Structure 1
């Protein structure tokens, strides 16, 4: 039962980070969303808010990496198209006021440990996507990693621009450009 409470608290923290970031996240909200008693905070997270935020980002980072490691496609273009289709619902949530739970950690640059957690998560996402691109036919690992980094950068950037615009249009524009670039570079002649 206590593992369940801890897990629910982490899930609630991920959602709070996506909506309000680290500074806007409150224990009252986490406890209410998780259906946990007040004493659960320091029982499960003796390090307080920082520990809860770190655990939420670690879980969210691992979950995203697992999804990216399974992006289907038998060509680089198909992998990019499927990546964009996979992240589209997440970006739609950004247009409605959401965001990236991992990126929320980078807004507190004074906390080096949280920034490093975010950096490792982004690196793992890039690696997972690069591995999919290599498996789909990108011949050079360096090119696959560069393309993957561009796609992760596109994802993180459109979280912000779609949230600001209140629409998914910035994502649609960036997605069309990314697909066109990959088609030009990796489609058979």
Structure 2
């Protein structure tokens, strides 16, 4: 039961980070969303909010990486197209006000939150590495695969911010078209 409660709390923290960011994530919200008792926070997360946020962002990051690992395609453009299809619902959610739980822990990027930023950096690196692996398996040269994988991750994260700010998916659609054009040259 304890593992179930802890898992529900982490899931609730992911949702809260996506909707409200690190500063707006509250224990009250996490408890309400998870159905956990007030004492559960410090029982399961003695490190407080930063520990909970780190674990939530890490879990979300693993889930995204696992989904990226499933993007199979015969050629690099196919990988990029599959990635855009994966990212489109993320952009749609961003246009409605939800952001990235991993990116949320990087703001503010001060010394107190250094562990959170390091965790986010490692997560983004793992996504880039997974996409690079996908692209290499699809026939792209190692250097091109590394650069284009980084481009796709930056596109996903940047487009979320732009979609959230504009309330529209148009920024994602524009960047997706531009990125796919680069893969046509591969």
- TM value normalised by structure 2: 0.97
Could you tell me which residue of structure 2 aligns to residue 33 of structure 1? Answer: 33
How far the C-alpha of 1:43 sits from its partner, in A, is 0.7
Rounded to whole Å, the distance in 2 between the matches of 1:142 and 1:45 is 41
Q: Are the counterparts in 2 of residues 108 and 115 from structure 1 also a CA contact under 8 Å? A: no
Rounded to whole Å, the distance in 2 between the matches of 1:122 and 1:14 is 16
How far the C-alpha of 1:127 sits from its partner, in A, is 0.2
Give runs of aligned pairs for residues 78-93 of structure 1, distance below 5 A.
Answer: 78-93=78-93
Structure 2 residue corresponding to 1:129, chosen from 121, 128, 131:
131
Rounded to whole Å, the distance in 2 between the matches of 1:72 and 1:175 is 18
Q: Which moved more, 1:68-77 or 1:92-101?
A: 68-77
Rounded to whole Å, the distance in 2 between the matches of 1:75 and 1:38 is 51
Could you tell me which residue of structure 2 aligns to residue 153 of structure 1? Answer: 154
Q: Tell me the secondary structure at the aligned position of residue 10 of structure 2.
A: helix
Rounded to whole Å, the distance in 1 between the matches of 2:133 and 2:69 is 8
Structure 1: gaps spanning 5 or more residues: none
Could you tell me which residue of structure 2 aligns to residue 164 of structure 1? Answer: 165
Rounded to whole Å, the distance in 1 between the matches of 2:54 and 2:174 is 33
Could you tell me which residue of structure 1 aligns to residue 181 of structure 2? Answer: 180
Poorly superposed stretches of 4+, deviation over 6 Å: none
1:5-42 alpha-carbon deviations (Å, 9 max, x no partner):
00000000000000111000000000000000001001
How many residues are paired up? 184
1:134-159 alpha-carbon deviations (Å, 9 max, x no partner):
00110x21210100000100000000
Give runs of aligned pairs for residues 115-126 of structure 1, distance below 5 A.
Answer: 115-126=117-128
- TM value normalised by structure 1: 0.96
Structure 2: gaps spanning 5 or more residues: none
The reply to whether residue 68 of structure 1 matches residue 58 of structure 2 is no
Rounded to whole Å, the distance in 2 between the matches of 1:171 and 1:113 is 30
Q: Are the counterparts in 2 of residues 106 and 115 from structure 1 also a CA contact under 8 Å? A: yes
Rounded to whole Å, the distance in 1 between the matches of 2:45 and 2:114 is 19
